[in-house]
Structure 1
Amino acid sequence: MPLHIPPAPAPALRSVLAALSSPTAVRDARTPALQSVQGPLSPELPLPVHVLDHVTPVDRAPSASGSTPRTRLTGWRFVIRSGDRAVAAADTMLTADGWAFSRFFEGPYITATERALRQAESLGTAYQPRLLSVPELYMLTLWLHGDTEADASSGAPAPADILVPLAPAPPGIAAHRPHRVAELLPMIGLRLSPAPLLRTPA
């Protein structure tokens, strides 16, 4: 079933187009694939990037307690294509003056994101795709939100939403294995919880 890709804010897209047309921005990006490509480049597959701010012990079981994890929108990410090939990605960020270009980059998350999107299309359910980052674990997931008409810039993962960890995933978490939020969140919460202090024997 096709995914409902949310439209990116027009200023965010314009900032990426302006950066792509700037030789200085492309040169300073230091992404070999972007610098060496010949022909036109186009930003596609815009995805909002949300950050998981904090997981408390109560948040570990959202389906049981009714609580939800706290997230915040930090930017929009675009895949930069040359023809049918992804050569880089571009991030934008929200500033006091509105959406602005942040950086170009390349690496495994670009390929992993495309793979996860293909997986999502085969699930047979309509979703709104987003990205959810867990900075403390250096973890990025494809977040498949069940409300396809929701405002992509807000909201929190619902227990029935799907999270697909992108490769490379943290040790012990399988990349590209879809999880319900209610299943994966407890694993994340346990990893983020501080280890209990060991008492010194008397």
Structure 2
Amino acid sequence: MPLRIPSAPALAEQTVVAALREDTTRKARPAHLVGETPRLVLPLPLHRLTPVGSLAEPPRARLTGWRFLLEAEGRAVGAAETALTADGWEFSHFLAGPFIASTERGVGLAESLPTPYQPRLLSIPELYMLTLWLHADLDADPTTGDPLPDDLLVPLAPAPPGIAADRPVRTDALLPLVTSRVAPLGLAS
């Protein structure tokens, strides 16, 4: 089933386009992007899982930015991220590394599923973990909301030890594991 890719805010996209055009950006382009004029593809809202105090608390997420894959000659060559600030959208940084290819694999996997989803990214900084969050509510505002029990999470590689990368897992199965790893000692029981 096709994914329902959300539209990024125009100002977020414009900050990335401006950063790509800027030769002397303070957030320098990675060496592999120098001389390239990549296209922005696959805009995904980036949410952060808020720290949890116990397994009894429902998972909460908050929007922190938008991430765009950068494509050149038909392949992803990197990503660019924006951040939500008090003044609006601001270019944050360029990215390279294994999360780019893993995001592409996760999207390909999601497109092969029988149910359509709205893709998002969910960051769990305490575990240095990023997941492709497949939200079941296609009509939801992509900038709000929390993971639902029947949403799927696809941990992106590299995933923390004991968590399989590039495999979809229901939120209600993965988040208790994640929560038990990041909850303060004594609260996880």
Please name the residue that 1:45 is paired with: 42
List aligned pairs for 1:1-202, cutoff 5 A.
1-25=1-25, 28-37=27-36, 40-59=37-56, 68-196=58-186
Aligned residue identity for 2:23: P
Q: Return the offset for 1:28.
A: 4.8
Please name the residue that 1:62 is paired with: none
Query: Rg larger in 1 or in 2?
Result: 1
Given the two structures, how large is their TM-score scaled by the length of structure 2?
0.93
Aligned residue identity for 2:3: L
Q: Which structure carries more helix by proportion?
A: 1
Deviations 1:87-137 (A, max 9, x none): 111000111221111111211100100000000001111100000000000
Q: Return the offset for 1:57.
A: 2.3
Deviations 1:44-99 (A, max 9, x none): 1000000001223244xxxxxxx631111000000111120211110001112211
| Contact 1:29-1:105 within 8 A present in 2 as well | no
Aligned residue identity for 1:50: H
Q: Distance in 2 between matches of 1:135 and 1:28?
A: 21
| Contact 1:68-1:158 within 8 A present in 2 as well | no
Taking structure 1 as reference, are residues 110 and 177 closer, same or farther at Cα in structure 2, changes over 3 Å only?
same
How much identity, in percent, do the aligned residues show?
57
Aligned CA RMSD, in angstroms, stands at 1.5
Moved over 4 A (4+): none
Q: Distance in 2 between matches of 1:128 and 1:30?
A: 29
Deviations 1:10-60 (A, max 9, x none): 1000111111111112x85251211153xx32111000000001223244x
Given the two structures, how large is their TM-score scaled by the length of structure 1?
0.88
Aligned length: 186
